[in-house]
Amino acid sequence: MLPSDDPRGQAVIDIASRLFAAFGYDGTSLHDIAEASGEDLAWLQQRFGDKRELYLTVVDHGSQMERGIVADVLGALPAADPEEARAVVYRLSTRLLEFFLANPQVPSLWAHRWLGDAADIPGLEETYRDPVIDLVCDALRPAAEAGLIDDRVNLELTVQTLIWSVSGFMHGEINADGHGPASTDPQALQPFLAHLRQLIDRMLTPRGA
């Protein structure tokens, strides 16, 4: 956990996040981070520990920001009309996409992970990714049980599908016109958000509705 009154430590976290996002855990050394941050290697080790511990701090920091957004959006669901469940998913998808665009290192860390990076650090998904997915699924389950969204869908895979779609958009694999990296093209954002909304509708609308 990074103290909120530690700007020096936060600066190191920001630089380490960018390096891990660019080169992966396996391709980044503690010396690289010390050099890029202008910090003494001995201080870095004393403050954060070894590379593994610093990497876990980076992952935890990004995950806490992401979880905060999810909790904030889902917090409006219990007080809202249950029929607003899909609207909450729209808002959640938009907020997370905006967060990832502003903090591209967060999805990039997971993209490296999916390609086998940091394979010697087990349990990251169970510790950081799965609880966020569970939060969303738990919030949507009452609406599914009430027949307001399709109770035949696998909620976990539905949420995963949205994550995969956003990841594909962030890494230039999805673009409305097929030209250039989608996440760097402002004109691609609205068509992609419209696509996400259509995807959500088709996955969650009850049969016959």
State residue 178's pLDDT score: 46
pLDDT (mean) for 73-94? 80
**Nearest to 50, CA basis, from 23, 32, 30:** 30
Residue 77: pLDDT band with limits 50, 70, 90: confident
State residue 49's pLDDT score: 96
Q: How far apart are CA 170 and CA 192, in angstroms?
A: 11
pLDDT (mean) for 104-133? 94
Q: How far apart are CA 11 and CA 85, in angstroms?
A: 38
State residue 81's pLDDT score: 63
State residue 80's pLDDT score: 57
pLDDT tens digits along 176-195: 454 445 555 777 888 889 99
For residue 157, pLDDT beyond 50: yes
Residue 105: pLDDT band with limits 50, 70, 90: very high
Query: For residue 91, what are its two tokens?
Result: 């808002």
Residue for token digits 């050394």?
29
State residue 183's pLDDT score: 56
pTM: 0.87
State residue 182's pLDDT score: 53
DSSP 134: H
State residue 168's pLDDT score: 84
pLDDT (mean) for 89-109? 92
3, HSE (Cβ side, Cα atoms, 13 Å): 7
Q: How far apart are CA 192 and CA 183, in angstroms?
A: 10
pLDDT tens digits along 52-71: 999 999 999 999 999 999 99
- To the nearest whole number, what is the mean pLDDT of the chain? 87
